[in-house]
Amino acid sequence: MSCRFRIDGRETTAPLGATLFDVAESLDVRVPTSCQKQGKCRECLVEIEAGDELLTPRAPQEEHLLPRFRLSCRARFARPGLVRGHTMRRGALRIEEDARGLDGNGAAPLEPRFQRHGRRLLRDGEEVGRIDGPLLGLAVDLGTTTVVLRLEDLESGRPVATQSFENPQRFGGSDIMARIRYDTDHKGRLLQRVLLGYLGHAIEALAGDPGPIVEMVVVGNPTMRDLLFGLDVHSIGQLPYRSSTEHQLLAGERSTTSLEVSAPRLGLPLHPQARVYGLPLVGSHVGADAAACLLATGLADRDGVSVCMDIGTNTEIFIGNRQRILAASCPAGPAFEGGGVQCGVPGLDGAIEGIRLGDDGTAETRLIGDGPPTGICGSGLVELLSELMRSGRMNSRGRYTDDEHQFVVDPAHRIVLTESDINELAQAKGANAAGLRIVADSFGAKLSQIERFYLAGGFGRHLSMAAARRIGLIPALPDDRIVQVGNAALEGASMVLRSAAVRQSLEQLVRRVEHVALETHPDFFDHFVDGCQFGPLEG
């Protein structure tokens, strides 16, 4: 029997003693590296799905990794058999002609912080250097699971292209608390270094010549944002869950929680005078990504009650109007981003994003990008749950009504949904529902009084509203009150990139937001238990 390696859907035989990296390369699978296989950059991550015991023991350079991850330039084939794995997944590079998604978010005048007079590069009106070619900026949404970059032309205000990739920090854990523990327990800022390496590769792929990129605006939850900037995140994991920037703000040691450093300091391949700006935090676990959503939805400018729910590993919820805004952060876990679900994957290429069941139970699936299918992402999972309910194959407690404990979606690619997967999704849904009910109660509004419900997050724009309503992921509101905004955090980052005035107003806006602590709320548990049932969310 020979050694075989199946990676990113491609398979070949492998000589004993070969590294995973070399065999992946022979299959034309691109593995990120900045050290050319020297064991130094720690970027050549492969997540092993099966066959780890067939590989050589861990090298000292791999000791920092969770068990299922290996450095592909260190791990070698040691015994015959099949090893299966994948590199960190990527989304295709997409050229965007005009991707302005939300009403009015392109309304602010185009007045970026960096401008050009001839070849002179100005920052806030002061000359800081020279520039040739276009004047570009980057908006970046640093999600716990997925990182999305959008390149913008700062002179026309038009998006140029987007790129996305799975957050490689998963080698240190899939949720925020695990990453905080990891960063606290390991020296050397490994989470920051590896992410910066991946960001550098993505920027080069996106821009070709990154020289004209003069600013990068970053949004993310407090942990993701602070890790990127190299701050100590320990305090975010301890009650009252505050970033060190928030503690310093409260102690009068700084005037804002926003962050700014020069791009060379982070080692990013941008213009030598480029700056990296992290949006201010709303407070506690409610971060810069939530602040960006608040901006993009325009929730603070309307009279009627609006809600914005950004569903992710941590779900952020805002409710409010022109007078008052409340916010909460809900540790829903990564299930709706594919984490903790056997065949769950992030919403990147190869993911099944839509599912319809025929009368005979055959699944008709819709894929992101080209095949083969790698698993099911959040929107696909929501549609699958809804279809299982509609067809009577699953009850409101998330149990299959036949004697099976799993439903086979794609037999050829062994893609299934087990009852234990459903349990993970039920708990994520329960946490989101509990958060929404408590925030609405605290505001003094019934769910039925919500005039506009913005659904944001990794679901993109393709999630079926009917499916989300049927399982109770969103309130039972009519279609005309629901706005599916896709990545509102990225839209908010773009708005800040394009307008210095918007940046100033956001600094004021975050101070108006009142924080609701869910984790200590006496009603959380009861709402959570109710929310774990599948069925319409009414009230």
For ligand FES, the binding residues (CB under 6 A) are 33, 35, 37-44, 71, 73
By C-beta, is 73 or 363 nearer to ligand FES?
73
Give me the residue label for tokens 């920027």. 203
By C-beta, is 159 or 168 nearer to ligand FES?
168
Shortest separation between residue 233's beta carbon and ligand FES, angstroms: 24
Contact 18, 72 (CB under 8 A): no
Q: Which of 160, 171, 143, 259 is nearest to 203 (CA)?
A: 160
By C-beta, is 35 or 501 nearer to ligand FES?
35
Strands 159-166 and 126-130, bridge-based pairing: unpaired
By C-beta, is 19 or 164 nearer to ligand FES?
19
Element spanning 21, H or E: helix 20-26
**How far apart, in whole angstroms, are the C-alpha atoms of residue 286 and residue 331?**
11
Strands 513-515 and 325-330, bridge-based pairing: parallel
Provide the 8-state DSSP code for 335. Answer: G
User: In the sheet where 126-130 sits, what is the strand order?
Assistant: 114-117, 120-123, 126-130
Shortest separation between residue 178's beta carbon and ligand FES, angstroms: 22
By C-beta, is 199 or 394 nearer to ligand FES?
199
Dihedral angle computed from the Cα positions of residues 245, 294, 348 and 146, in that order, rounded to the nearest 10 degrees: 10
Shortest separation between residue 459's beta carbon and ligand FES, angstroms: 34
By C-beta, is 38 or 396 nearer to ligand FES?
38
Shortest separation between residue 72's beta carbon and ligand FES, angstroms: 6
Contact 371, 377 (CB under 8 A): no
Q: Which of 69, 13, 74, 65 is nearest to 38 (CA)?
A: 74
Strands 306-311 and 452-457, bridge-based pairing: parallel
- Length of the chain in terms of residues written: 539
Shortest separation between residue 345's beta carbon and ligand FES, angstroms: 24
Shortest separation between residue 43's beta carbon and ligand FES, angstroms: 5
What the block records as the tokens of 337 is 């981003």
Give me the residue label for tokens 């991850």. 69
Dihedral angle computed from the Cα positions of residues 497, 498, 504 and 507, in that order, rounded to the nearest 10 degrees: -40
By C-beta, is 25 or 232 nearer to ligand FES?
25
Shortest separation between residue 82's beta carbon and ligand FES, angstroms: 23
By C-beta, is 17 or 536 nearer to ligand FES?
17
**Helix 488-498 vs helix 288-297: crossing angle, to nearest 10:** 80
By C-beta, is 193 or 390 nearer to ligand FES?
193
By C-beta, is 59 or 367 nearer to ligand FES?
59
> String of b and e for 393-422 (b: at least 16 CB within 10 Å)?
ebeeebebeeeeeebebbeebebbbbbebb
Shortest separation between residue 330's beta carbon and ligand FES, angstroms: 36
By C-beta, is 37 or 324 nearer to ligand FES?
37
One-letter identity of residue 129: G
One-letter identity of residue 371: G
By C-beta, is 71 or 147 nearer to ligand FES?
71
Shortest separation between residue 78's beta carbon and ligand FES, angstroms: 18
By C-beta, is 240 or 269 nearer to ligand FES?
269
Dihedral angle computed from the Cα positions of residues 421, 317, 149 and 350, in that order, rounded to the nearest 10 degrees: 20
**Helix 288-297 vs helix 500-509: crossing angle, to nearest 10:** 110
**How far apart, in whole angstroms, are the C-alpha atoms of residue 413 and residue 401?**
24
**How far apart, in whole angstroms, are the C-alpha atoms of residue 60 and residue 41?**
13
Contact 33, 25 (CB under 8 A): no
By C-beta, is 148 or 196 nearer to ligand FES?
196
Shortest separation between residue 20's beta carbon and ligand FES, angstroms: 10
Q: What is the DSSP string of 468-526?
A: HHHHTSSBS--GGGEEEEESHHHHHHHHHHHBHHHHHHHHHHGGGEEE--STT-TTHHH
Shortest separation between residue 93's beta carbon and ligand FES, angstroms: 22
Shortest separation between residue 169's beta carbon and ligand FES, angstroms: 16
**How far apart, in whole angstroms, are the C-alpha atoms of residue 503 and residue 112?**
10
Shortest separation between residue 21's beta carbon and ligand FES, angstroms: 6
Question: Given phi > 0 = left and psi -120 to 50 = alpha, else beta, which region is 17?
Answer: left
Shortest separation between residue 197's beta carbon and ligand FES, angstroms: 9
